[in-house]
């Protein structure tokens, strides 16, 4: 089975559409989304609609929880808080109802899916380092745990760490657990501004990171036109 994993779209329609053009070429069996469909970007309704229609399993992220009032917006930085408050005003009732029902974790195809961490996923902690990952391995029994939230592609194995590069392949070893982050579709933060997603081939036991270029300037103009913070537009160009 060929699985596609997307995460942290953040209402970036141009990045999401470019990503799906590449996904269509791959012709996967299933598409999984690890949350944060909304927040930061200018097209929350359009992005939620695409995910709702094309994704087989989607999770909630901290930005969904922020818009729903399940997480205090005071815990967000200023730019994220402004974007969440704006998103709450413009999100349609239909799309609001959709995100209300998204889970924070799911096990599918013997893979644990979670936006933040296996331990207390609704605390929205981050896995940045091998030390952060160390304690998380005790929380799940599946061979793979897929996470988002940091917007940085990386693989933490019980026996070492692998930093993904564009087109990079990972062949997971039997008997070893992995925590894998495929980065962000809509707001990459690893100094590569292209959209990022993952492909898992369960038969060939092959995992790959894919990067996709998109029209960043168009999204930047929309962010500014909607009165969202300038920083949210600027960071897209640098991938930070």
pLDDT in tens, 167-208: 778 888 889 999 999 999 999 999 999 999 999 999 999 999
- Mean of the pLDDT values across residues 96-118? 98
Both structure tokens of 11:
């209402």
CATH number for 171:
3.60.21.10
pLDDT in tens, 39-83: 999 999 999 999 999 999 999 999 999 999 999 999 999 999 999
Q: Write down the pLDDT at residue 171.
A: 87
Q: Contact, 118 vs 139, CB < 8 A? A: yes
Beta-bridged to residue 145, according to DSSP, are 112, 179
CA of 7: how far to CAs of 53, 55, 134, 148, 186, in Å? 16, 11, 22, 6, 8
Q: Write down the pLDDT at residue 170.
A: 85
User: How many CB atoms within 10 Å of residue 94?
Assistant: 11
Q: Contact, 83 vs 77, CB < 8 A? A: no
| Domain containing residue 154 | 2-238
- Please, which pLDDT band fits residue 216 given cuts at 50, 70 and 90? very high
């Amino acid at each position: 089975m060929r699985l596609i994993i997307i995460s942290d779209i953040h209402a970036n329609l141009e990045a999401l559409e470019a990503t799906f053009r590449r996904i269509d070429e791959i012709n996967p069996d299933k598409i999984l989304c690890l949350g944060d469909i909304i927040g930061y970007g200018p097209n929350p309704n359009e992005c939620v609609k695409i995910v709702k229609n094309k994704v087989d399993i989607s999770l909630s992220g901290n930005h969904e929880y922020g818009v729903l009032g399940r997480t205090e917006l005071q815990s967000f930085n200023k730019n994220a808080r402004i974007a969440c408050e704006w998103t709450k005003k413009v999100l349609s009732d239909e799309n609001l109802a959709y995100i209300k029902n998204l889970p924070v974790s799911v096990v599918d195809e013997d893979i644990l899916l979670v936006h933040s961490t296996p331990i207390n996923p609704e605390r929205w902690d981050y896995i940045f380092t091998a030390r952060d990952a160390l304690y998380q391995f005790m929380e799940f029994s599946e061979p793979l745990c897929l996470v988002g939230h940091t917007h940085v592609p990386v693989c933490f194995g019980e026996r070492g760490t692998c930093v993904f590069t564009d087109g990079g392949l990972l062949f997971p070893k039997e008997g070893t657990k992995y925590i894998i982050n495929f980065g962000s579709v809509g707001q990459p933060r690893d100094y590569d501004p292209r959209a990022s997603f993952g492909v898992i081939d369960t038969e060939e036991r092959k995992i790959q990171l894919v990067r996709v270029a998109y029209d960043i300037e168009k999204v930047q103009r929309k962010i500014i036109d909607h009165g969202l913070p300038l920083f949210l537009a600027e960071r897209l160009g640098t991938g930070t």
